[in-house]
């Protein structure tokens, strides 16, 4: 989607600090980190959020979660918190599904 911020990051039109990438998933550092480590993990395919996942997209969601684990191992995270905000009332600001991976001291509450 041309007007989607994260689709533009996937397309390389907007730079990001890439942490992990494969053919289906991209992970990059959040521009406004809320913890010592704050990484966003997204499917390259545009999916609005969890509530919008179609039946055939669930395996992709599983691979996004698997990538979160790879990122945690790659970054040697001893423990981490995963959050995905769903919908405006769920605190979602960017409407391309993303999973926040947070680690370090003083993790924000939920
Ligand atoms: P959410 O509120 O769950 O939609 O989170 C959106 C996240 O995207 C926020 O934590 C922002 O700091 C982050 N963000 C916005 N623009 C960028 C960008 N250009 N690069 C990296 N992270 C971004
Ligand atoms: Zn998108």
Q: Where are the domains of the chain?
A: 5-103
Is the beta carbon of 85 within 6 A of some atom in ligand 1? Answer: yes
Question: Could you tell me which CATH class the domain 5-103 is placed in?
Answer: alpha beta
Question: What are the backbone angles phi and psi of residue 82, rounded to the nearest 5°?
Answer: -120, 130
Phi, psi of 20 (to 5 degrees): -155, 145
Please list all protein residues whose beta carbon sits less than 5 angstroms from ligand 2, which is an ion: 1, 4, 6-7, 46, 96
Q: What is the C-alpha separation between 7 and 27, in angstroms, rounded?
A: 13
Strands (E), 1-108: 18-21, 25-29, 37-43, 81-83, 99-103
Sheet holding 81-83, edge to edge: 18-21, 25-29, 37-43, 99-103, 81-83
Compute the average pLDDT of residues 24-42. Answer: 97
Residue 106: pLDDT over 90: no
pLDDT band at 2 (very low <50, low <70, confident <90, very high): confident
- pLDDT tens per residue across span 64-99: 999 999 999 999 999 999 999 999 999 999 999 999
Of ligand 1's listed atoms, the one at least distance from the Cα of 100 is 3
């Amino acid at each position: 989607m041309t007007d989607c911020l994260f689709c533009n990051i996937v397309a390389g039109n907007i730079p990001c600090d890439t942490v992990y990438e494969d053919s289906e998933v991209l992970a990059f550092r959040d521009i406004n980190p809320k913890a010592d480590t704050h990484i966003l993990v997204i499917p390259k395919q545009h999916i609005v959020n969890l509530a919008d996942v179609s039946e055939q997209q669930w395996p992709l969601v599983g691979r996004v979660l698997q990538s979160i684990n790879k990122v945690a191992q790659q970054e040697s995270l001893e423990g981490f918190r995963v959050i995905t905000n769903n919908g405006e009332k769920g605190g979602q600001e960017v409407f391309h599904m993303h999973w926040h991976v947070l680690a370090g001291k003083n993790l924000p509450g939920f």
